[in-house]
Amino acid sequence: MSDEMKPDLPATTEDETNSTLGVVTDLILDSTIPVSIRRNMFKVADRLCSALIKVPVEALERRTAEKRAESEARIKIGQEVTDQIIQQIKVDPEFPQRAGTSFAKKILREQFNCEKILSIAANQLKKVKYNSSTDQNIESEVEKLIDDDWFNAFEKEANQKSDKDMQHRFGRVLAGEVANPGSYSIRAVKTLGELDLKAARLFETLCSLCIVLGDPMQGQVIDARVSSLGGDANANTLRGYGLAFCDLNILNEYGLITSEYHSSHGYYEVVQNENTQRCFPFWYQGNYWGLCPLPGWRKEDRFNLRLSGVALSQVSRELLRVVDLDPADEPLKTARQEYTTDLKKYFEDQRLRMAEAQLKLEYFDGHPIPSAHYYVR
């Protein structure tokens, strides 16, 4: 193939590939990271990068040799097929070369996208502080591995993502699945892949205003919604915060919110117990919160506390963890600040003060009690 027919690559492709290899290799060989995570990352790296990389691990070296032999055989067969096609249809010999070049560019671009996402996932996993007790004895316990069908769906969606924001979202999904297989459904992966730029921005707005009963970081969500603050979301009450009625329709079309825009759910658990000061926290903008009774609050009002508004679908609940809750977009930052102010006022009108909740481990005979509790002051 002539030089002018060779596929172009981004100027930083070689550097990016080497950087990805370094991050992935360091993670796989890091003995402080649980074995199950390293083995899942090994499996992912083998799938996404084995055609181009040589990781200095014996098993990966064998896999690289296998891939090289497969590639050489395919090249030989492909050349013979090309020669036969040229003879049969009598086209310009450069035509199949141009077609092959176009296909090669597509494959290289997809490979580049996948390696970028793999690098993001590896960096995410390296930032986590692991407890040595989380490492499993894989000889005596069943190890959770990434499902092949899930990975097929992920790879199909991920290799098309050249946008940096989308690459970061897919990188976080991959990191979460490597650490805990089953965290994200195939449907969630496909939904994330289908989002266009406008829908992705709306989803970011939705998540930044969302109140969660439970712990989305651990995949434990009882309820998740954007409160309409006593109004009706069907009547455009969320428009001033970046979620007009037409925006809700778009989110509903993607399956990110439920079709009933003004549903409700009880939140009485988040009110502080006046005797123990404990509460079941709710999650909002990356922090955990509780509600402290103010003068005039009646104990019997606890079970009447309900939040109404736009409820997130199951897919959205899974994807909450991949959204950047500190966006650079100034209008969104302003909307978040205004919503937070109005949310606190909404609770104060009900004689409740919104306060950050602190996790406190309790001990008995020097040993931590398994059930952790949150306290608000």
Could you read off the pLDDT of 335-369 as tens digits, one per residue?
A: 889 999 999 999 999 999 999 988 776 666 655 55
Cα–Cα distances (Å) from 5 to 38, 90, 98, 101, in that order, read: 40, 20, 7, 6
Which has more pLDDT, 316 or 113? 316
The amino acid occupying position 132 is S
* Cβ pair 362, 242 in contact under 8 A: no
Most confident of the ranges 56-60, 90-94, 95-99, 326-330: 326-330
d(CA 178, CA 131): 17
Which structure tokens are listed for 356? 């950050």
Q: State yes or no: pLDDT of 198 exceeds 70.
A: yes
DSSP line for 223-237: EEEEE-TTS-GGGTT
Per-residue model confidence as pLDDT tens digits over 123-167: 989 888 776 554 444 443 456 788 989 999 999 998 888 888 899
Average pLDDT across the chain, whole number: 79
According to DSSP, residue 112 is labeled H
Per-residue model confidence as pLDDT tens digits over 232-278: 888 888 999 999 999 999 999 999 999 999 999 999 989 988 777 78
Per-residue model confidence as pLDDT tens digits over 180-192: 899 999 999 999 9
pTM of this prediction? 0.74
Which has more pLDDT, 286 or 275? 286
CA angle 102, 9, 50 (to 5 degrees): 90
Cα–Cα distances (Å) from 352 to 124, 277, 294, 347, in that order, read: 37, 14, 5, 5
- Residue 301, pLDDT score: 83
